[in-house]
Structure 1
Amino acid sequence: MTVVGAGAISALGPTARHLWDGARQGQVGIRPVQALEMNGLDTKLGGEVTDPVEPSRGYRHPDGFRERAIELALVAAEEAMAALPAGLVDSERFGVVLGTCNAGLLSGREWLRAAGDGEVPDPELPLLVTPQALAESVGAAFRLRGPVLAVNTACASGANAIGLAADLLRAGRADAVLAGGSDAFSDICFAGFNALQSLSPAPATPYDAERQGLSLGEGSGMVVLVRADFAREHGLTGIADIAGYGLSADGFHSTAPQPEGRGAARAIESALRLSGITPEQIGYVNGHGTGTPKNDPAETNAIRLALGEDKAARTPVSSTKSMIGHMLGAAGAAEAIVTAKALAEQLAPPTAGYTTPDPDCPLDYIPGPARPLDTGAALSNNFAFGGANASLVLTRTADGHRPPQPETDRVVITGIGLLSPAGATAAEVWSAYTRGRCPVEWDDGLRRSRVDFDPDPYLTKRERRRMDRLAQFSIAATAKALADAGFEPGSAAAEALGVVFGTGTGPMEAMEKFTTPLLAEGPAAADPSVFPNTVYNQAAGQVAIHLGLRGPTTTLSVGHATGAAALAYSADLLADGHADALVCTVTDTLTDQVGRAYAAVGAASTREPGAAADGRFTLAEGSVAVVLERRSAAIARGATVLGEVLGHGMASDASRARLWDARGRGLERAMRTALDDAGLAPTGVDAVWLAAAGLRAADTAESRAVQRLFHPYGAPRLHAPKTVLGEPMGVGGALTLALALHQGRFGGRPVLLNSSSLGGSHVSLAVRCGAEESRTTTTSGEAR
């Protein structure tokens, strides 16, 4: 997949050219921070964007308030998109994958500040808080109506987003994808890293024996990716190619890396294997290089393990963070751009400030000036809180390297575990749905449905002492799913399992707990035991740590479409050989502020007359874990097959004027794409499990889409479980899958499962439920 456009805004300047020129010259952009109050912190420095952040394209926001993370992304995206002639790519075939660590943290901070001061927060603020809000704002700004997804593997998000974008292209799900990352400075983030004693008082000097910690940075890096054949056909000049990427979980600690680098090495090795590049072909490594005492030696060990001692010793490594600081969710994207430019210009940038070798970091970290290269392949590494690792392999476009075709396989479902207000098994939840009963309470004027959860069977009091409910729910549901699938936690088979985590609203319990004292008391109130829980992927890390799962890991947050999107990504990872098995766990929990935010945007039933949700929308919480496997692996271990993922489709309404298309055209495209991907005709569908949850405008749009799809055959059976069970936010798609598998456990024809975010992103899954049977035949006569 070829990078044909790149945009960046960083401490080195407002464009990708500034980023590259500064990096190759060893220019340090880490300076005293101007826009934040830095009193009470161990540092006064950061890689601050000091150029004006003024995107030419707009987005929805409250009057008098701007979300800097979105604006940084838009500035970088505008530069990247300028590489494509207008109208070259059909908007319905143009996707967005945005990585972020903190997402719209400034919007969430403003909401909590206003609430704490006794004000009425602006009702548009919640529409800017979540990662998907950033992705949808960027998609809407450019009217991109293909897949729109947000990736949230903390500091590995930018690299993970580019890898996922390459997957979408490779699978034919898009013709072009705008991908990258964005994060903005905040007092909350500085206070958190300060509480962890991670900040350096001087500009960070990664790998150096005298290093004192990391320097935070802000900004955005965005790239436009197309297939290599598309680039050649349209005369587009490639900067570099994304040959492959690898993901892994340390399963070790919530913040510290696995010291021997084994987890990170697995990500590098996977990236090399999938890209068809050998260690000997790697001529440069753009390192994670944060400058912390533990991270730099762990990464050094990982490079030595993955490349081999001799090759690692001969391969130059440098850290871009020594010049722009750690840009968190944007780091992987900005550093991928630097790596691409290094290949294109055959020049390895230095590690700024590196002067004193560290015996624990015995590699070539390019002190002094940039160094000429003679290589066609490079690595870019990014590792994150929770032990989430991502590694990209980039190759020189002119070399025409073609990664090997993956040995694809069908993807089957072999285990389910869930926690729901309506029950702890699919049978109990199905019974509640068919009886039309679900526990509902009026709390703070809102209809809510909460899980009655006892953590004792899954976690000791000591284990859960520093966990929020998001992590506790996730561990319990995952443990149940593993048992259902026949995996023993801690076994060799379980260790190879990957974790794809999804959450719609994320760690809001931890975010409120950490932020509220800061607003009143400043950095001294920062709790280092809570801060690691404020990242969206923290629950995935806890699942990996406590259940011993160390395969590929990633985290998505796609609003109410999260469950379906995470299942779709899981299926694609397995089909393409990233792992033989993984567990997809989707969790959301309710807090008072989450409920108030839903009410503020008119997406929750209240006691107020004329409520937007018509009094039928119940806000719920829960967790669903699904074990998926390559069919050959499942058969080899004698697993019971509960169903099969046949295909999926994604689409976006992409509009700044409204949250979703009233005619349901985006959802209709997602459903048609899912059918095409599965090789099915509408007449082959037994039932549609609707996204409908009681929000009239969205439900009506879906109804119109379903009617058009099945005209003139007549609609199949329709299920709308969320109108009874409540809307469990991002968990909905996974919950409907569990119900569909239970209802069709004795065999049946394929079904469609619909999910839609409140921002107009749609995912439809085609699933066969029940015991395995012979596959259908596509209209072209090819067996699927």
Structure 2
Amino acid sequence: MAETAETKQRPGRGVAVVAAGALTSQGAGAEALWQGALAGRVAIRPVQHLDMRGLSTKLAGEVDVPADPPRGYRRPADHRERALDLALVAAGEALADLPAGLVEPSRFGLVLGTCNAGLLSARAWLERARRGAPPDPRLPLLATPQALAEGVAAAYGLRGPVLAVNTACASGANAIGLGADLVRRGRADAVLAGGTDALSDVVFAGFNALESLSPEPAAPYSGDRQGLSLGEGSGMVLLVATDFAARHGLRPLAEVAGYGLSADGYHVTAPRPDGSGAAEAIRGALRHAGLPPERVGYVNGHGTGTPKNDPAESAAIARALGPSAARTPVSSTKSVVGHLLGAAGAVEAIVTARALDARTAPPTAGYTRPDPDCPLDYVPGHARPIDAGTDAALSNNFAFAGANAALVLTRPGAHTPPEPDWDRVVVTGVSVLGPAGDGAEAAERAVRDGRAPVHHEAGLRLGRADLPEDGIAPYLTRRQRRRMDRLAVLSVVSTAKALADAGLTADERVGVVFGTGTGPMEAMEKFVLPLFDEGPAAADPSVFPNTVYNQAAGQVATHLGLRGPTSTVSAGHATGAATVAYAADLLSAGHADALVCTVTDTLTEQVARAYAATGAASTRVPGAPADGRFTLAEGSVALVLERLSAARARGATVLGEVLGQGMASDASRARLWDPRGRGLELAMRRALDDAGLGPEGVGEVWLSAAGLTAADRAEEAAVARVFDTADPARHAPKTVLGEPMGVGGALCLALALWTGRSGTGGPALVNSSSLGGSHVSLVVAAGDPKEES
């Protein structure tokens, strides 16, 4: 029987990995992955399904078994999104042995990590646009990270929190860490977490332009290594609380004891050479787990095989583990399957869990001779028994834009992580950039007057954020902006303004959680379109790094000196609220003292075209959900969140407090959102419960409504049910300011704090919903909170 209780679970409970699924070049299944890694069997071979002419390699870890998912999804008849196919297959394996009905669907979540998301769908869209073919509205609905997450959730009926994270090559590990947090905090009873990415000509062209590809199978850490080998695949793990597993007879493979995140703040592609940034992620994971370095008996390394990454990681391990590093075995799974980008962390976590279970360290294939800059024990040749007393292992993943993630896994029952030092979370700085101008006051004035600047272009109502040169110059020079897109420029400026508003100085305890709904479409268009005519020779190495979703977060960290935890969330129109929710949980549990939540989206020709094709932004499409009030907008909002104790210690002015959060998903293959608004209703009720409030305790509701009739009516019905005996004020600022895509939830939160700064209106509920039916609600209170008695 499913567990359905909505009461708060005890925070800090253990999290177990009870199942895993994988599809890699080793074959179908997690067992095939483990056996291949254990044997050091290299599955990096000539690529069969892509044209490799013009590239410096012909090899990759290609999946050569059919990726036939057991569940379908909405798509053009002649197109499949391979990244989604891979994820569906891995998810199906991870869920195969779970008794039907054991987990209530509304308590079952999903966190999917990906680097390139539905790149093949985006490529197909751009290719059709280039030749003037009619747009297929189903292609953009498969292109974003959240589209993949919602596709998996809908296929398996998962109606709890549904989120996508996009920290490039650290995405899979980041997703498992976030999934474990959701279980640990009682926000879900079970979470399917992992990563997926597929090979494409675009990715090959990019890494080829960076001169990163090896002509032979990658040989990580070896003195004769020549670069990395790309791979594809998916890995998914099923996470539940350890007490849940015990009650229902689910055998844990391992436990997620802790994870750590950090920003290098150094370079768009290269790691910090001394390994200090990555070492902080490892230290953070160990702190979170409550383990000393000497308890780590095995490290599954990032191990890409590139000249700069391997020495930097070796230095990071040595820094973080200290004297015990010299005797701790380290091996790279990428030596046998290639670099799976956003799926790497998940696949490698599965191998790490199996290594712990078998007390055996798999080898690093291809390792032939030592490199003085890589002085650790890399398990060359053959697998080796791990010390019999080993009960903890580390899995490292480091990424473009300096995003680092480390997971600590332990043997079941061997270790109990300490109770976190919980704290309340407050907002101390706000910045708003949008069509109405600079600042929350400008946005509030536009809403009050009922008018914001609108450009009418090709039948669309567009709201552009025009940032003048004198608004950029104090933060970025022209030279610094030369290799940056508008997504990064707006993000750096808004983050700098929020930090100044908070009076906060950046350091190692201040990080950035970045959010974007549509991602780096400007860079993607600029990089991909020339490839259609000229192939890999047209690939621009200065543009390619900007095509990953977390590149703006990396630019923010680099230019402003933020070295604390970093992550990137992309949950469609729910991104802003999801970013705040994730950051609040990280802070509450002590991962950092302060985090800047920066959420940015920009308009490009193809973004506007996609919204028009789907009917969201144009009344010219028969049956379109838009009703003529919808304006598609862009902008950037940054909010500084701090632990209350840290804010008090530095004498900060507190603008408000994040009291609670709630998430739910409609998860339906039949429609994009529930017309009755039941998913949003559940998210609101969970947020109120998390805040310890009843409906009568809320003074105002900030609606997600933006002029899409069907979605707005669903929200209206949900709000009416939740507040049937209460009558809070209702605000719909996006019907005036426009829908800034992923920025909307953060914008409404900023306005709630600004308009409620007198502290007399009572707590506010902020709603945010993606067009795919993922919902996030926040409860916030403006003003300086009272101390608990």
Instruction: Give the TM-score of the pair, scaled to structure 1.
Output: 0.97
For 1:322-370, what per-residue CA distance to the aligned partner results, in whole angstroms no more than 9, with x for missing partners? 0000000000000000000000011100000101100000000001110
Equivalent residues of 1:159, 1:332 under 8 A apart: yes
- CA offset at residue 773 of structure 1? 3.3
- CA offset at residue 60 of structure 1? 1.1
With over 3 angstroms needed to count, the CA separation of the structure-2 counterparts of 1:44 and 1:609, relative to structure 1, is closer
**In the aligned structure 2, how far is the partner of 1:226 from the partner of 1:264?**
28
Runs of 4+ in structure 1 over 4 Å off: 606-611
**In the aligned structure 2, how far is the partner of 1:135 from the partner of 1:90?**
19
What is aligned with 1:219?
233
Q: Which amino acid aligns with 1:725?
A: L
What is aligned with 1:779?
none
**In the aligned structure 1, how far is the partner of 2:129 from the partner of 2:785?**
53
For 1:143-166, what per-residue CA distance to the aligned partner results, in whole angstroms no more than 9, with x for missing partners? 000000000000000000000000
1:766 counterpart = 2:779: yes
SS of match in other structure, 1:155: helix
What is aligned with 1:27?
41
What is aligned with 1:778?
none
1:16-95 to 2 correspondence within 5 Å?
16-95=30-109
What is aligned with 1:538?
551
1:383-422 to 2 correspondence within 5 Å?
383-399=398-414, 401-422=415-436
- CA offset at residue 495 of structure 1? 4.0
**In the aligned structure 1, how far is the partner of 2:290 from the partner of 2:248?**
26
What is aligned with 1:484?
501
1:98-109 to 2 correspondence within 5 Å?
98-109=112-123
668, 674, 697: which is aligned to 1:661? 674
**In the aligned structure 1, how far is the partner of 2:142 from the partner of 2:711?**
19
For 1:438-495, what per-residue CA distance to the aligned partner results, in whole angstroms no more than 9, with x for missing partners? 000111221101011122232111000000000000000000000000024xxxx544
SS of match in other structure, 2:530: helix
221, 232, 236: which is aligned to 2:246? 232
- CA offset at residue 83 of structure 1? 2.7
- CA offset at residue 610 of structure 1? 6.5
What is aligned with 2:753?
741
457, 473, 482: which is aligned to 1:443? 457
Deviates more, 1:470-479 or 1:54-63: 54-63
Equivalent residues of 1:4, 1:83 under 8 A apart: no
1:189 counterpart = 2:203: yes
**In the aligned structure 1, how far is the partner of 2:263 from the partner of 2:494?**
19
Equivalent residues of 1:272, 1:278 under 8 A apart: yes
1:157 counterpart = 2:157: no
SS of match in other structure, 1:515: helix
1:238-317 to 2 correspondence within 5 Å?
238-308=252-322, 310-317=323-330
SS of match in other structure, 1:359: coil
**In the aligned structure 1, how far is the partner of 2:458 from the partner of 2:417?**
55
**In the aligned structure 2, how far is the partner of 1:575 from the partner of 1:608?**
46
- CA offset at residue 722 of structure 1? 0.3
701, 708, 733: which is aligned to 1:721? 733
SS of match in other structure, 1:296: helix
1:113 counterpart = 2:130: no
For 1:9-39, what per-residue CA distance to the aligned partner results, in whole angstroms no more than 9, with x for missing partners? 0000111000000000000000000000000
Equivalent residues of 2:427, 2:655 under 8 A apart: yes
**In the aligned structure 1, how far is the partner of 2:630 from the partner of 2:362?**
55
**In the aligned structure 1, how far is the partner of 2:157 from the partner of 2:90?**
16
1:4 counterpart = 2:18: yes
**In the aligned structure 2, how far is the partner of 1:118 from the partner of 1:727?**
28
Equivalent residues of 1:706, 1:715 under 8 A apart: no
Equivalent residues of 1:352, 1:368 under 8 A apart: yes
SS of match in other structure, 1:451: coil
1:460 counterpart = 2:477: yes
For 1:737-778, what per-residue CA distance to the aligned partner results, in whole angstroms no more than 9, with x for missing partners? 111111000113101000000000000000001232366xxx
SS of match in other structure, 1:397: coil
1:642-661 to 2 correspondence within 5 Å?
642-661=655-674
**In the aligned structure 2, how far is the partner of 1:67 from the partner of 1:243?**
34
For 1:636-682, what per-residue CA distance to the aligned partner results, in whole angstroms no more than 9, with x for missing partners? 00000000000100000000100000000000000000000000010
What is aligned with 2:606?
593
Q: Which runs of 5+ in 1 are unaligned?
A: 776-782
- CA offset at residue 606 of structure 1? 4.5
Q: Which amino acid aligns with 1:83?
A: D
**In the aligned structure 2, how far is the partner of 1:257 from the partner of 1:608?**
47
**In the aligned structure 2, how far is the partner of 1:501 from the partner of 1:235?**
39
What is aligned with 1:433?
447
1:376 counterpart = 2:401: no
What is aligned with 2:147?
133
594, 605, 623: which is aligned to 2:618? 605
**In the aligned structure 2, how far is the partner of 1:420 from the partner of 1:529?**
28
- CA offset at residue 510 of structure 1? 0.2
1:614 counterpart = 2:627: yes
For 1:115-164, what per-residue CA distance to the aligned partner results, in whole angstroms no more than 9, with x for missing partners? 10110121110100000000000000000000000000000000000000
SS of match in other structure, 2:256: strand
**In the aligned structure 1, how far is the partner of 2:623 from the partner of 2:668?**
26
Deviates more, 1:607-616 or 1:137-146: 607-616
CA RMSD of aligned residues (A): 0.9
539, 543, 566: which is aligned to 1:553? 566
**In the aligned structure 2, how far is the partner of 1:609 from the partner of 1:353?**
58
What is aligned with 1:344?
357
Equivalent residues of 2:657, 2:784 under 8 A apart: no
Equivalent residues of 1:605, 1:618 under 8 A apart: no
**In the aligned structure 2, how far is the partner of 1:256 from the partner of 1:554?**
18
Q: How many residues align?
A: 769
- CA offset at residue 608 of structure 1? 6.0
Instruction: Give the TM-score of the pair, scaled to structure 2.
Output: 0.97
Deviates more, 1:144-153 or 1:455-464: 455-464
Give aligned-pair identity as a percent: 72
Equivalent residues of 2:662, 2:684 under 8 A apart: yes
**In the aligned structure 2, how far is the partner of 1:130 from the partner of 1:84?**
29
Equivalent residues of 2:695, 2:726 under 8 A apart: no
490, 504, 509: which is aligned to 2:517? 504
- CA offset at residue 63 of structure 1? 1.1
**In the aligned structure 1, how far is the partner of 2:51 from the partner of 2:337?**
20
**In the aligned structure 2, how far is the partner of 1:494 from the partner of 1:224?**
35
For 1:185-205, what per-residue CA distance to the aligned partner results, in whole angstroms no more than 9, with x for missing partners? 000000000000000000000
Q: Which amino acid aligns with 1:571?
A: A
What is aligned with 1:780?
none
